[in-house]
A and B are shown apart, each in its own frame.
Chain A
Amino acid sequence: GQSLEQPSEVTAVEGAIVQMNCTYQTSGFYGLSWYQQHDGGAPTFLSYNALDGLEETGRFSSFLSRSDSYGYLLLQELQMTDSASYFCAVREGYNQGGKLIFGHGTELSVKP
């Protein structure tokens, strides 16, 4: 079967660092993506890992270990506007026919 596990909620303080984990079990694997969704809005793309290791984009970093079927999203210098839901998604196919399966998301609350 297909499953992506994420903690349901995380709370952190403004200016701090937070890590949100994702473990997956899928029939195919062609990369792990991260999306951010503010309340009532559409998800927006943050980061993508096709290979093991760390990808950094500004305050956001994403890590992947394919042997552990595990990844995480790291947010540094947290801001109040980072309060949102964060979804990991596995790409099960390559190019044509490729589909993204999403986890249930982690709701991040940033406190002052």
Chain B
Amino acid sequence: SQTIHQWPATLVQPVGSPLSLECTVEGTSNPNLYWYRQAAGRGLQLLFYSIGIDQISSEVPQNLSASRPQDRQFILSSKKLLLSDSGFYLCAGKGQDNSPLHFGNGTRLTVT
């Protein structure tokens, strides 16, 4: 079965600092990978998704970027964090079929 590894679990960063969140996938090859953000008490906002290495689609123009240097690695980055970047970031993946989405345990980011 598919497992999504995501770290760190919590992160506190000052405004203007860079960000790098990494996600790796086990149990499936050539997965579709996703980054979602969840504000407190809200739904999941799709930020980026990828169907393959170096193939990234951005859903919401903003202060973040994503990269997929390897088949099972998906990275979320920012050069300069804003206060509004605070939230719960979730990496998710699914196989190239009708399988459901599997989520990592998330990173709770607080920008101060």
A residues near B (Cβ < 8 Å) are 4, 31, 33, 35, 41-45, 48, 50, 87, 89, 95-105
B89 CB to closest chain A CB, in angstroms? Answer: 11
| Known contacts A42-B104, A45-B102, A99-B49; A105/B43 CB under 8 A | yes
The complex places the Cα of A87 from the Cα of B42 at a distance, in Å, of 10
Q: Find chain A residues with CB under 8 A from B104 CB.
A: 42
Q: Find chain B residues with CB under 8 A from A44 CB.
A: 103
B residues contacting the other copy or chain, number (CB 8 A): 24
The complex places the Cα of A33 from the Cα of B34 at a distance, in Å, of 16
The complex places the Cα of A87 from the Cα of B57 at a distance, in Å, of 23
Identity of the chain B residue whose Cβ is nearest the Cβ of A103 in the assembled complex? B43
Taking CB atoms and an 8 Å cut-off, the chain B residues in 56-106 that contact chain A are 57, 59, 90, 94, 96-98, 100-106
**Which of B46, B49, B96, B101 is the most central at the interface, judged by chain A CB atoms within 10 Å of its CB?**
B101
